Chain A
Amino acid sequence: KAGVTQTPRYLIKTRGQQVTLSCSPISGHRSVSWYQQTPGQGLQFLFEYFSETQRNKGNFPGRFSGRQFSNSRSEMNVSTLELGDSALYLCASSLAGAAENGYTFGSGTRLTVV
């Protein structure tokens, strides 16, 4: 079966712009989580969606937002980009929640803000 698909793989944006990243989870998985990975902070939890509802949220500013569609596909948006937003953004899907069975991760979107 197909894995978790993230698009695009690479992205270069300018400070102040906004960006939208997309994630298609494994078929049948209803939970989608987003993580930001940087060398300094490691893997930081952004938010989790389950059946189109945001169930959990990490400690990120309001510039970071997301949503989930009825087919479980998810998008995350970052507005007013800052240099510090440069990171690998990882999407992870699970049947009902990562704490139960673990995640399947996508390959990530590498965002560079210049």
Chain B
Amino acid sequence: SQQGEEDPQALSIQEGENATMNCSYKTSINNLQWYRQNSGRGLVHLILIRSNEREKHSGRLRVTLDTSKKSSSLLITASRAADTASYFCATGLIQGAQKLVFGQGTRLTINP
């Protein structure tokens, strides 16, 4: 079963607007990462936030992490057509394997 669940499953907005995607997870984590995937290609690592961090920025991306609620959000500001992609959260677990557990993703469409 998936550790993370993204919400919404799909999001369609106008170019220039902000896009917010949410991720919830079930077990304690070491860190949470966000990835982007363009149509059937490999995933691209966007940002990593550690469990002792609450907010992190990278360019037009802002990620927040609330470990008490086991949730994270990814905000993309001033969206562009090139941001159209699927976005996945992935959790690095505290115990056990050196692996990431991915959610099902949010499909983001930016309309020109």
Q: Which residues of A contact B (CB under 8 A)?
A: 4, 6, 31, 33, 35, 42-43, 45, 48, 50, 55-56, 58, 88, 90, 92, 96-108, 110
Contact = CB atoms under 8 A, between A and B. Distances in A.
B93 A99 contact: yes
Contacts of B104: 42
Interface of B: 2, 30-31, 33, 35, 40-45, 48, 88, 90, 92-93, 96-105
A43 to B, nearest CB: 4
Given A98-B92, A101-B48, A104-B45, A88 B40 contact: yes
Contact of B42 (A4, A31, A48, A50): A4
Given A55-B98, A98-B98, A99-B93, A107 B41 contact: yes
Contacts of B2: 42
Which of B43, B93, B104, B105 is packed against the most chain A CB atoms within 10 Å?
Answer: B43
21 contacts: A6-B42, A42-B2, A42-B102, A42-B103, A43-B88, A45-B99, A48-B98, A48-B99, A55-B98, A56-B97, A56-B98, A90-B42, A92-B43, A98-B99, A98-B100, A99-B31, A102-B100, A105-B43, A105-B44, A107-B42, A108-B42
A90 B99 CA distance: 14
B30, B31, B41, B100, most chain A CB atoms within 10 A: B100
A96 B1 CA distance: 25
A99 B99 contact: yes
Contacts of A6: 42
